[in-house]
Amino acid sequence: MTTPVYENFINGHFLKNQTGDTFAVKNPATDEVIYHVEIADEFIQNAAIESAKQGFAAWSAMTPIERSRILLKAVAILRERNDELAKVEVLDTGKPWQEAECVDVETGADVIEYFAGLAPAQVGQQQMVGNDFYYTRKEPLGICAGIGAWNYPLQIACWKSGPALAAGNAVIFKPSEETPLGAIKLAEIFIEAGVPAGVFNVVQGAAEVGQWLTANPNIEKVSFTGEVGTGKKVMASAAGSLKDVTMELGGKSPLLVFDDADVSQAVSAAMLGNFYTQGEICTNCTRIYVHKNVYQQFIDELKTRTEQNIIAGDPMDPEVNLGALISKKHQELVLGYIDKGVQEGATLLTGGKALSPASAPNGYFVEPTVFVDCKDDMTIVKEEIFGPVMSVLVFDDEDDVIQRANDTHLGLAAGVFTKDIQRAHRVIHQLQAGICWINSYGNSPAEMPVGGYKQSGIGRENGIETLDHYTQTKSIYVGMSNIESPF
């Protein structure tokens, strides 16, 4: 059986490249090639820029309320097609259907809906200066590039296009080459909803295509989601034409469990924050600091629930709650970190091996893995693993655990479990992270700004302030009296 070949999506339709070069996309749960995608060659790249220029001219000329109405139509189509789109995400990423069916499309649609609602509410200022006055306009930036990671492909495309399009920009989006289909589906939906051709374009390929986007002088902004190291390259390249950047990067986030916490709730949070999407979530709380008084209770319950309640297998099976990692290479990387943890003296409480479930024997699965007896300087405690691997550490002093939690160059997220309301806020205010939870972990509604401290990122996604990251302020001074000139 021949597999489909997807072309790049430019100016409202699929466009064939000239080189004929393609890449293959595999289903991580089966190791089978499911389709091919054409790489954006020079012809496609030039066409994408021309298309986005035309798209920008048409889209930015519309009133915000017209744009809003069209985007809300796209939101309705996304929701109508939830199951079809969720299936695309499951086959591309290996994540469980039970997640994609209620999270991936839904949270993407929410963000477009949120910014569609905000678009008409964006206003400038006016102020008198003597008899003269000035006013400001919020103008779109122009062509914005979005570069996405592979863990939430459609959601990332929605989170980047929502505010960009609401503010009147055009977008050229490059999904990860591991998961290219979700963005194409979104492009088709935008066209169906009435977004003019050229406003949202999808170019396909690996790092070279990303590099072209970051270096291209016609592009005003790059919004990037990916690893810290790639983020640094993207920012350096974007600096060549002084582009605005938003960076959503990796993390190694701490969760602090105090001895007055509801331990079962804290275990739930720890499991969600390490095993949901098989651990491939940037905000995961991969360093769990547990107070010594509840440590034994915490790890006993964690071990039992991890061994009894996690079902790995064919991700399309609605019972399955642990899917396959994105690629063989990534599976090997995660297993390499587990070996390193053992070598450096951590103890495996549970898991630690590759998995070959009967319903998906060729998938890239890794057992849900918990390390105890961890030390702050171990590799598994310091580096982002991006798989189902949790490190548990012990503490007994509040100030000390805050200092340990902050002792990292990353600062994406953090969490605290305690029933003491004063301690909860006191501690969370001292944690150096951009996304924080108290007695909760992982929720990220459209209304809440998200982004990292330190090397975990620059700028924010979601929330009102993000619209400012996709507009520029024009100040206009109006003279109301004759000019006094010495010349």
Q: Which is nearer to ligand NDP, 209 or 310 (CB)?
A: 209
User: Three-class SS of residue 386?
Assistant: coil
Q: Any residues with CB less than 8 A from the CB of 57 and at least 6 apart, and which?
A: none
Q: What DSSP element (H or E) covers 146?
A: strand 143-147
Smallest gap from Cβ 69 to ligand NDP, in A, equals 29
**29 burial class (0-12, 13-18, 19+ CB within 10 angstroms)?**
buried
- Residue by residue, DSSP assigns 398-461 as HHHHHHHHH-SSEESEEEEE-S-HHHHHHHHHHS--SEEEES--S---TTS-B--EETTEES-B
Cβ contacts of 467 within 8 Å, gap of 6 or more: 115, 118, 119, 122, 163, 166, 167
Q: Which is nearer to ligand NDP, 7 or 248 (CB)?
A: 248
**Shortest Å, Cβ 438 to ligand NDP:** 20
Task: Pick the closer one to ligand NDP by CB: 55 or 148.
Answer: 148
Kindly state the smallest distance separating residue 337's Cβ from ligand NDP, in Å: 13
How far is residue 309 CA from its own chain's centroid? 27
Bridge partners, residue 457, by sequence = 248
Nearer of residues 184 and 249 to ligand NDP, judged by Cβ: 249
Q: How far apart are CA 31 and CA 116, in angstroms?
A: 39
CB of 175 to ligand NDP, least distance (A): 6
Give the footprint of ligand NDP on this chain (CB under 6 A).
147-151, 174, 176-178, 206-207, 210-211, 214, 225-227, 230, 233-234, 248-251, 282, 384, 386, 412, 452, 457
Min dist CB 320 to ligand NDP, Å, is 22
Under 8 Å between Cβ of 81 and 45: no
- By beta-carbon proximity to ligand NDP, the closer residue of 81 and 252 is 252
> Least distance in Å: CB of 417 to ligand NDP?
22
Nearer to ligand NDP (CB atom), residue 169 or residue 444: 444
Q: How far apart are CA 391 and CA 351, in angstroms?
A: 12
Minimum CB–partner distance for residue 326 and ligand NDP (Å): 8
Q: In the chain, what is the straight-line distance between the N-terminal and C-terminal CA atoms, in Å?
A: 81
Active site residue 220: no
Q: Which of 83, 132, 73, 139 is nearest to 106 (CA)?
A: 83
Task: Please pick, among 248, 301, 384, 461, the residue that the annotation labels catalytic.
Answer: 248
Nearer to ligand NDP, 211 or 268 (CB): 211
Q: Is 352 in contact with 338 (CB distance < 8 Å)?
A: yes
Q: What one-letter code names the amino acid at 152?
A: Y
Show which residues are catalytic.
248
